[in-house]
Amino acid sequence: MRPSLSLLLVAALLGGCAAPGARSPAAPPQGGALAHDNLHATVWMQTAAEYRAATLAAFNLAMDRLDAALADPDWDALPLDERGGQPVAGLKPAVIVDADETMIDNSAFQARRILDGGAFTPGLWQGWVAERRAGALPGAVAFARHASERGVTVFFITNRSHQHDWQATYDNLRALGFPVAEDGSNLLLSGDPRAPEKAKETRRKWVGREHRVLLMLGDNLGDFVDPVDGSIDERAALVDRYRAWWGRRWIVLPNPAYGSWEAAATRGCGEPDRSACLRKALRRD
Ligand SMILES: [Mg+2]
């Protein structure tokens, strides 16, 4: 039986993430509808010079900010609630980055869903991950290496599945030249035994115990702060709480294809069709 849209959205909210495989931004309730809905977003991500420019801008900014943060021993980018007032001076420097649509590009997976149609299944996503064919976003490897060469550990916190996707993710990232440790210790997937809760908050705190976090990069609000499953207004208020941090401690990569924004935009929609729910979210003025 096909799960209802509301059930999928609930699953997405519980997941608190936007990893394409784990839930539904890229895990559409109806493949054909999503394919259509994602056409513009995916073509933009695959072809637009403007997207390339946006990612390069994000990583150029990140390099500048990293150097400034490294020079300030009290600088920290963990959410205030997650740091809990712990002093950071003397802790080892780190950055926290998401993987999908932050450092690596899964647009080919989206394109296949559009071209082939058919419903998303977790198996399709895991098959894509197992191919190890995600590419690096422009500027991402240079930034990660820039950090690593300065003694800054790059922690990849992604909601890919630790159980299913760890080896392929490790292989894919290392083949692209990202500074993933040989033992994979700087990879924290969803279900990692060191901090197994799905919300990224727990893994960020785990990193923060021994590191001061110079920067965080992501394409989804949950890559920076939790909880992200509120309404549109609640999520906007959460962003505004950290108004001064954006572009300074937290750097966002654009992702118009999927994300936790989508669950907020379609929350309480009541329509069985995803496209109809998205249309209901539009405002005329
Ligand atoms: Mg992501």
DSSP letter for each residue of 115-156:
HH-S---HHHHHHHHHHT-PEEPTTHHHHHHHHHHTT-EEEE
8 Å CB contact between 63 and 249? no
Tokens of 240: 């505004």
Among residues 2, 18, 64, the alpha carbon closest in space to that of 263 is found at 18
8 Å CB contact between 175 and 115? no
- Going along the chain from its start, the domains and CATH numbers come out as 5-280 (3.40.50.1000)
Among residues 221, 210, 278, 231, the alpha carbon closest in space to that of 253 is found at 221
Query: Which stretches of the chain score pLDDT less than 50?
Result: 1-19, 21-35
Peptide bond into 227 cis (omega under 30): yes
Q: What contacts 147, CB < 8 A, 6 or more positions away?
A: 66, 95, 153, 154, 179, 214
Q: Provide the pLDDT for residue 36.
A: 64
Ligand 1 centroid to 160 CA: how many Å? 9
Ligand 1 centroid to 147 CA: how many Å? 20
Q: Provide the pLDDT for residue 118.
A: 74
Ligand 1 centroid to 165 CA: how many Å? 15
Count of CB atoms within 10 A of residue 123's CB?
10
d(CA 138, CA 233): 32
Ligand 1 centroid to 105 CA: how many Å? 9
Count of CB atoms within 10 A of residue 108's CB?
15
Q: What contacts 92, CB < 8 A, 6 or more positions away?
A: 153, 210, 211, 212
Ligand 1 centroid to 103 CA: how many Å? 8
Ligand 1 centroid to 285 CA: how many Å? 30
pTM over 0.95: no
8 Å CB contact between 266 and 24? no
Which residues on adjacent β-strands are paired with residue 104? 100, 136
Locate all alpha helices (DSSP H) within 184-269, ordered by sequence.
Answer: 200-210, 232-241, 260-265
Outline where DSSP puts E strands in 17-129.
92-97, 104-105
Ion ligand 1, residues whose Cβ is below 5 A away? 98, 100-102, 219
Count of CB atoms within 10 A of residue 74's CB?
9
Q: What contacts 261, CB < 8 A, 6 or more positions away?
A: 220, 221, 235
Q: Provide the pLDDT for residue 274.
A: 81
Give Dmax over CA atoms of the chain in angstroms. Answer: 56
Ligand 1 centroid to 269 CA: how many Å? 24
Which residues on adjacent β-strands are paired with residue 156? 97, 187
How far lies 197's CA from each of 21, 193, 211, 244, 267, in Å?
17, 9, 20, 29, 24
